[in-house]
Amino acid sequence: MTFAWIRFSPLLLSFALPSPAQIAAAAPTPNSDSICLSEILISTPQPYDPAQVADAQHKADGARDAIRQGARFEDIAKKYSEGPSAADGGALGAFRRGQLPKQIEDKVFAMKAGDVSDVIRTKQGFAVLQVTECGRETGGHGGFGTLYILSDTHGVDFGPYLTKVLHDLRDNWYRLIPKAASTRKGEVGVEFSIGKDGAVKKMRLVATSGDTMLDRAAWGAVTASNPFPALPNGFTGPNLALRIHFYYNPDEGKLD
C-alpha cells in the first residue's frame, strides 16, 4: 500500500495464480475486521509544487470520472495508476482494522464490495480506492494465494516491496508446477525469512501436501526467487518473516 501506515503487521496479500491445472490458493475470509482493496494512485512530487499538485488532482478526478462512466477499475489502474500495484489492476490485497490511517479506514470499512471511493488526498498523492471481494479475482486470471507477514514491520510500508516478492514467487511457481499436478490435490505452506540483503533464510515446510511433487514445486518457488531485493531502507528489524500458502486443485467450497 502506498499510504503512511500506523501499523502494517500482520498483513495478508493476495495474488492471482492461473494454470491449466486450476491451481489456486486460499484467501482471507471477508468479515467486519478485514477488507480487500484496489488502488489508483496519482503521485505528487516533494517538495510540493502547486501546479504539479493541481495536475495530479486533475488526473485523479479524470480516472474517477471514467469509472463513474462505466470503465473498469482494473483497466484504469493499469493505464493511469503510478502505484506499485498498477500492473495488477491496482490490487493491494487484504487489510485488517488498525493497518490503515484512521480517516481512510473509516471510509473503506463503510463501503461494500464493488464500491469506489471519491478521490482521497494522501501523503503520496491522490488515490481512488475500490473495495473488492476477498478471495475473488480483481483483474488477474485465476485463484488466489495468501502471504502472511509474521514479524514486526517496525512501521515500514512493505506494500511495494511485497508486490515484487509475490511477482517472483508466482512466476517461479508457474515454471515449476509439473503437468501431473492437474490430477492432484494438496496444500503446501512454506515459512521463510528475508534478510536485509534480500537473501532467504530459515526456510521450513509448515504444511505438507503429502505429495513430494507438489511440495517440491512450492518449495522451489521460494528457493528460485532467492535472493529477493534488499529490504526497504528504514527497516530496523533483523529480517522479514513470511508465510506463503499454495493450493493445488482445491474444492470450490474452500475458496468460498
Average pLDDT, the chain: 77
**pLDDT for the residue 98:** 80
**Tens-place pLDDT, residues 73-121:** 989 999 999 987 888 788 887 777 887 888 888 999 999 888 999 999 9
Residue 254 has pLDDT above 70, yes or no: no
Element (H, E) at 16: strand 12-17
Residue 17 has pLDDT above 50, yes or no: no
The Cα–Cα gap between 186 and 20 comes to 16
Of 32 and 250, the one with more pLDDT: 250
Contacts of 103 (CB under 8 A, 6+ apart): none
3-state DSSP percent of the chain in helix, strand and coil, to 5: 30, 30, 45
Of 84 and 242, the one with more pLDDT: 242
Residue 237 has pLDDT above 80, yes or no: yes
In this structure, which CATH number among 3.40.50.300, 3.10.50.40, 3.90.1150.10, 3.40.190.10 belongs to the domain 30-132? Answer: 3.10.50.40
Residue 225 has pLDDT above 80, yes or no: yes
- The DSSP bridge partners found for residue 244 are 147, 190
- Assign domain 143-255 to a CATH class: alpha beta
Residue 222 has pLDDT above 80, yes or no: yes
- Answer whether 228's CB lies under 8 Å from 164's CB: yes
Could you state, in order of their start, the residue ranges of all structural domains in the chain?
Answer: 30-132, 143-255
Confidence band (pLDDT; 50, 70, 90) for 135? very low
**pLDDT for the residue 182:** 67
Residue 184 has pLDDT above 70, yes or no: yes
The Cα–Cα gap between 21 and 73 comes to 28
The Cα–Cα gap between 207 and 95 comes to 24
Element (H, E) at 168: helix 159-176
pLDDT above 90 covers a percentage of the chain that reads: 33
**Tens-place pLDDT, residues 162-181:** 888 888 888 788 788 777 77
Are 30-132 and 143-255 in the same CATH fold? Answer: no
Residue 2 has pLDDT above 60, yes or no: no
